[in-house]
Structure formats: structure tokens, C-alpha cells
């Protein structure tokens, strides 16, 4: 490793970590009792910790390392770009080739309505950009009263003030006085947990009609947009019934509100289509992207903007008073260009759709016979297992999160990263995994479920 990063024992890293490092979304008192796991390197689909243990990464880091670890081209393109032009901004009548080329490539690989992109450093910044852009859009069109953005409970759209406000995570709202004004939440399309006696198709329509009810409650002339993840990721890989998005689309059209598809997780092949919007047939106006855009090798995000929205902002909008120092960072853009080229040249998205995705889903569903598993669901290379006390009634455990956390820790000790969202176990492994990797994941998952029981 680099000479700037010394080599230390696990105990020394843990002591320094505990002394100085505040981690995201972490109970530090609990972490101090366990000690931080220190990941020192990775290759392919495997992580290695400071004790040299090999761990299969069932989460692609945080749903982002879609091409797996150790891709030399991505490192080399960043290295070369940093020597050529490590930084310049795209403010004030300037730009540079990597950002321009990435914009061109993104317009090529995204659905046809998208003609423009606004670059950010992350998915959260992309969603902050969405809030400002949709309000600006209506303002420019002479409807400044259209400010309300409708989102969903248990959505995740990031951790900045606007991102966490768009998100529907109660524990996040409880800290810091969120949501910010003008953001409201409707129910989520969570059939397993909330569908009751309805079929998935019936429930999908019911959940979507909550949007219309909310629009009518607020007043249609006050609503700016609806935002949703095609599949809710951090909320527990909640895959809406097939009837949900078509109904949402109709309602958005009926009331003339903008539709925003947050593709930060679903984008760049996760579902077996380039974008989750294509999997569900969503035709949105704005599309936040990040994560898989650079396979996580460097931080970058953006908002794809449909032609009809871009035209309004460009032709009538004047200055859009928004942007970040790292909007369109050259090295990150170069890595994103390389990522898109690899996805294309190696046919990775097709492979997820027609080969490794179906294989993983078939094996994943076999876990539904386990006594702890109430439902095994997924699409492409994303999946969830609902751990329940009673499979017949879908009744959960008395202390939500306890069994999920236990299962997660057992998975790690068995050499598998599987994340727990309360008592839902989730995976989103690298898109490049082999059938042998899938088999290993399934063996480790089943053994961990057995040991959790």
C-alpha cells in the first residue's frame, strides 16, 4: 500500500479509529465494545480485513462497486487524468473534456427523454439539486406556488438536509428538525408488510392512489413533483407490484406534476436493465444518479434532466444559482466514462438480465423454504429476505432489528457481507459475480440463517 498509509496492527487501527473517527450512521458506544472491522484491500468480489480474512461482498460496498474491486482500467484512467488535469471547475463559462464526454455518454445510455445532466459529488447532492431544480422549473413557468414535493415513507434519498427530508426515514427526521418545509410523504408500495389480503396487483394500485389523494388534499396547483426510487433500496429492497409505477405515471400526468426517478441504486445495470425506470416502464422527467455511475471508485453523482425540463431552465431560466466545487470533477468523470465503457463493452447489463441475474434469483428464492424466511424477493442482482417469527401470518419478531443484526453479524463471521434493514436481510452484490460466487453466497447465507435460528 501507499507509503503515506502506515502498516499497523488491527488493535492499533481500532484504537485510533475509536479515538478520532466519527462514522456515518453509527452508535459509537456500541462500536467501541465490538471494535471496528478494518478493511485493508479488495479484489474482484472479495474484501480482505486487517487480519487477512476473506469476505464475499454481498453489498458491492454500499450498492456501488458494481464492477467489483481491482479494475486496473478505472485506476489508470484516474491516474492519467490527475496528471493531465486534476481539477478545474465547470462554473463561469468553463468546462473540460472528461465532463463533456461523460455528459455525452450519459445521454446515450439513459432513456431517450434525457438530453442534459447536472453533475454533483454524490447522490444526496443530486437530490438537493432535484429540489432546487423542480422548484426553479415551476417558478420560471410562472407557477411559483408549485413547491410541494411528494415522496414516500421509508424512502431513502440521501443524508443532506434536503436529501433526508425527501427520504421518509423517521429516525433521520427525528434528528435535526426534518423534513424541511414543502416535502410530504405518502405510503410505500410494500406488499409483503402492508398488503394485507390484497393481491400484489390490487395493492400496487391502492398504494399508487395515495399519490392522487395527497395531491387533492394539498391542491394540485401547489404540487411540484413526485419522487421515488424504482426499487426502494435502503428501505429494505422493496419491489413494487407491477401495477404501481404505471398508476403513479398516470396520476403524475393527470395533474401535470414532474416525476423524479431516483436511480442512485437501480441505475447502471442493477436490475438487468440500464435503469430501473426501464425495468418498470417509468418515463420520468428527472433522474438522480450516483454510485454505480463510477462503480464507486471515485465519488460522483448527477441529475439527468429531460429535454422538456432542460429547455425551460435553459431558454427562460437565466442563472441557476446552484452548484458544487466538485460538480464534474475531472478524475471522477474520467472514471465514470470508463465505467460506462466497461459496462457496454463487456455486455454486463445483458449478462445481469439474461444470465447471472436469473441464476441468482432462482437460488435466492430457494431460501424461502428456511423456517426464518417469510419472503425471498429480488430482481437482477438485488434481493431481500424477510425474517419473520411466523411464516403463515407474516408476524415479525417482538424486538424489530434484533434478529436482523444477529444474522448480519453471523454472516460476517461466515465471510459474507449481507446487510440488515431491521429484520430484512438484503444483498446487492457486484454485477460481475460468477455462478460460483452466487453459489458461495447462497451457502454462506443458508448457513448463517441456520445459525441465527
- Which range touches ligand PLP (CB under 6 A), out of 1-9, 108-116, 123-131, 271-279? 123-131
Pick one of 60, 66, 124, 361: the residue that binds ligand PLP (CB under 6 A).
Answer: 124
Please give the radius of gyration of the chain, using alpha carbons only, rounded to the nearest integer: 22
Residue 74 is a binding residue for ligand PLP (CB under 6 A)? no
- Nearest distance in Å: CB 59, ligand PLP: 11
**Identity of the residue, 185 or 363, whose beta carbon is nearer to ligand PLP in the bound complex:** 185
Say whether residue 122 binds ligand PLP (CB under 6 A): yes
310 Cβ neighbours under 8 A, 6+ residues apart: 115, 116
265 vs 417, which CB is nearer to ligand PLP?
A: 265
Residue 158 makes contact with ligand PLP by CB under 6 A: yes
| Phi, psi angle pair for 424, to nearest 5° | -105, 120
Kindly identify the residues of this chain, within the stretch 287-346, that bind ligand PLP according to CB under 6 A.
290, 301
Q: Are 150 and 184 in contact (CB under 8 A)?
A: yes
Q: Give backbone dihedrals phi and psi of 15, rounded to 5 degrees, phi first.
A: -65, -45
259 vs 150: CA distance, rounded Å: 10
**Three-state DSSP string of 103-168:** HHHHHHHCCCCEEEEEEECCHHHHHHHHHHHHHHHHHHCCCCCCCEEEEECCCCCCCCHHHHHHCC
- Helix (H) / strand (E) element for 339: namely helix 330-345
**Site for ligand PLP contains 363 (CB under 6 A):** no
Considering the rule CB under 6 A, would residue 120 count as an interface residue with ligand PLP? no
User: Which residue lies nearer to ligand PLP by CB, 195 or 235?
Assistant: 235
Q: 212 or 285: whose CB is closer to ligand PLP?
A: 285
**Shortest Å distance, C-beta 159 to ligand PLP:** 6
265 binds ligand PLP (CB under 6 A): yes
Considering beta carbons, is residue 126 or 367 the nearer one to ligand PLP?
126
Alpha helices of 219-329 — where are they, by DSSP H? 244-255, 276-280, 307-316
Residue whose C-alpha is closest to residue 334's, from 91, 86, 114, 117: 86
Selected binder of ligand PLP within 150, 234, 251, 420 (CB under 6 A): 234
The binding site for ligand PLP (CB under 6 A) comprises: 122-124, 127, 156-158, 229, 233-234, 262, 264-265, 290, 301
Amino acid at each position: 500500500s501507499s507509503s503515506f498509509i502506515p502498516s499497523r496492527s488491527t488493535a492499533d487501527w481500532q484504537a485510533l479509529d475509536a479515538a478520532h473517527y466519527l462514522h456515518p450512521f453509527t452508535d459509537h458506544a456500541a462500536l467501541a465494545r465490538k471494535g471496528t472491522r478494518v478493511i485493508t484491500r479488495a479484489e474482484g468480489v472479495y474484501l480482505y480485513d486487517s487480519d487477512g480474512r476473506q469476505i464475499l461482498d454481498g453489498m458491492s460496498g454500499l450498492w456501488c462497486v458494481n464492477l467489483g474491486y481491482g479494475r486496473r482500467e478505472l485506476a489508470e484512467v484516474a491516474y492519467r487524468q490527475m496528471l493531465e488535469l486534476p481539477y478545474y471547475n465547470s462554473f463561469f463559462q468553463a468546462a473540460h473534456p472528461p465532463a463533456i464526454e461523460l455528459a455525452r455518454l450519459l445521454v446515450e445510455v439513459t432513456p431517450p427523454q434525457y438530453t442534459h445532466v447536472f453533475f454533483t459529488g454524490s447522490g444526496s447532492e443530486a437530490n438537493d439539486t432535484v429540489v432546487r431544480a423542480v422548484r426553479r422549473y415551476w417558478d420560471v413557468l410562472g407557477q411559483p406556488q408549485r413547491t410541494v414535493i411528494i415522496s414516500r415513507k421509508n424512502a431513502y434519498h440521501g443524508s443532506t438536509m434536503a436529501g433526508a427530508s425527501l427520504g421518509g426515514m423517521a429516525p433521520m427526521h427525528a434528528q435535526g428538525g426534518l423534513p424541511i418545509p414543502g416535502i410530504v410523504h405518502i405510503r410505500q408500495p410494500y406488499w409483503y408488510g402492508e398488503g394485507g389480503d390484497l393481491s400484489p396487483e390490487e395493492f400496487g394500485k391502492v398504494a399508487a392512489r395515495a399519490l392522487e389523494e395527497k395531491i387533492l388534499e394539498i391542491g394540485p396547483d401547489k404540487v411540484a413533483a413526485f419522487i421515488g426510487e424504482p426499487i426502494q433500496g435502503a428501505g429494505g429492497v422493496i419491489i413494487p407490484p407491477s401495477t404501481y409505477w404505471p398508476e403513479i405515471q398516470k396520476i403524475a400526468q393527470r395533474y401535470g406534476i414532474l416525476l423524479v426517478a431516483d436511480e442512485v441504486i437501480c441505475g447502471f445495470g442493477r436490475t438487468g436493465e440500464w435503469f430501473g425506470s426501464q425495468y418498470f416502464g417509468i418515463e420520468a422527467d428527472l433522474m438522480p444518479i450516483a454510485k454505480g455511475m463510477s462503480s464507486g471508485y471515485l465519488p460522483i453523482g448527477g441529475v439527468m434532466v429531460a429535454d422538456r425540463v432542460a429547455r425551460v431552465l435553459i431558454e427562460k431560466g437565466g442563472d441557476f444559482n446552484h452548484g458544487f466545487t466538485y460538480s464534474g470533477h475531472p478524475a471522477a468523470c474520467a472514471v465514470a466514462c470508463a465505467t460506462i465503457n466497461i459496462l457496454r463493452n463487456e455486455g454486463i447489463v445483458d449478462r445481469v438480465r439474461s444470465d447471472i441475474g436469473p441464476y441468482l434469483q432462482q437460488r435466492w428464492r430457494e431460501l424461502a423454504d428456511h423456517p426464518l424466511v417469510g419472503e425471498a424477493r429480488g430482481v437482477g442482482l438485488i434481493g431481500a429476505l424477510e425474517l419473520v417469527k411466523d411464516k403463515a401470518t407474516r408476524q415479525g419478531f417482538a424486538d424489530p432489528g434484533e434478529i436482523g443484526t444477529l444474522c448480519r453479524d453471523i454472516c460476517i463471521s461466515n465471510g459474507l457481507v449481507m446487510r440488515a434493514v431491521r429484520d430484512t436481510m438484503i444483498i446487492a452484490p457486484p454485477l460481475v459475480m460468477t455462478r460460483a460466487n452466487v453459489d458461495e453466497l447462497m451457502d454462506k447465507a443458508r448457513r448463517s440463517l441456520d445459525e441465527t435460528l
